[in-house]
Amino acid sequence: MDIEEIESYIGKVPDFPKPGILYYDISSLLINGKAFSETVKKLCSLLDSYDFDTIAAIDARGFIFGSAIANNLNIGMVMIRKKNKLPGKTISHDYKLEYGNDTLEINVNANNKRIILIDDLLATGGTAKAAIDLIEKAGGKVKCFTSVIELNFLKGREKLKLPIESLIKYD
């Protein structure tokens, strides 16, 4: 299955969750076993040249791809969650969004880890940058940010000062 065929499983929903937003719906991709499997394989192949031992995934849709990649590569995964969603000792990081503020948290388990950070989509880069800052605060080193979809026109790549691998790019 090529990238164009994988892309055909991504729906585009205008004005969701609010007017002016074009939502990239991965539901059809996930429900098709072959399309999902091929997406995971292609994401894994994008990571071949990186030296890493752990996946970190961003709440919530990043968990889907992060856990599949970690399982495929037989390595562990760290969850980066929204505030008050992780039990035990956590480290938090506050950051600004276009429409307000938010907080991400991580369990204290990223120390000395070489990490690939994954989310389903890279848009403005705000959440990805906050997750990178959080991982570094926890003692980890992000080797690459990876996404299924990248919206080039929002220039999120410019906020991240590390390698970026995206499967599908929209200009």
Residue 41: the pLDDT is: 98
C-alpha 81/C-alpha 101 separation (Å) is 15
Question: Which tokens hold the place of 72?
Answer: 């495929």
Residue spans of the domains in the chain: they are 49-170
Residue 141: the pLDDT is: 96
Q: What is the pLDDT of residues 1-57, one digit of tens each?
A: 999 999 999 999 999 998 999 999 999 999 999 999 999 999 999 999 999 999 999
Give how far Cα 127 sits from Cα of 88, 140, 146, Å: 23, 17, 13
157 is catalytic: no
Catalytic residue among 4, 5, 38, 98: 98
> Which residues, 6 or more positions from 154, have their beta carbon under 8 angstroms from its beta carbon?
123, 124, 125
Catalytic residue among 61, 114, 157, 165: 61
Residue 108: the pLDDT is: 78
C-alpha 31/C-alpha 139 separation (Å) is 36
**pLDDT above 70 (res 65):** yes
Low-confidence winner among 13-17, 106-110, 130-134, 153-157 (lowest mean pLDDT): 106-110
The helix-helix angle for 61-73 and 33-46 (nearest 10°) equals 70
Question: Which tokens hold the place of 167?
Answer: 């499967």
Residue 98: the pLDDT is: 66
81 is catalytic: no
Hey, what CATH topology would domain 49-170 get? Answer: Rossmann fold (3.40.50)
C-alpha 145/C-alpha 135 separation (Å) is 12
Average pLDDT, the chain: 95
Q: Are 117 and 125 in contact (CB under 8 A)?
A: no
**pLDDT above 80 (res 72):** yes
**pLDDT above 70 (res 169):** yes
**pLDDT above 90 (res 119):** yes
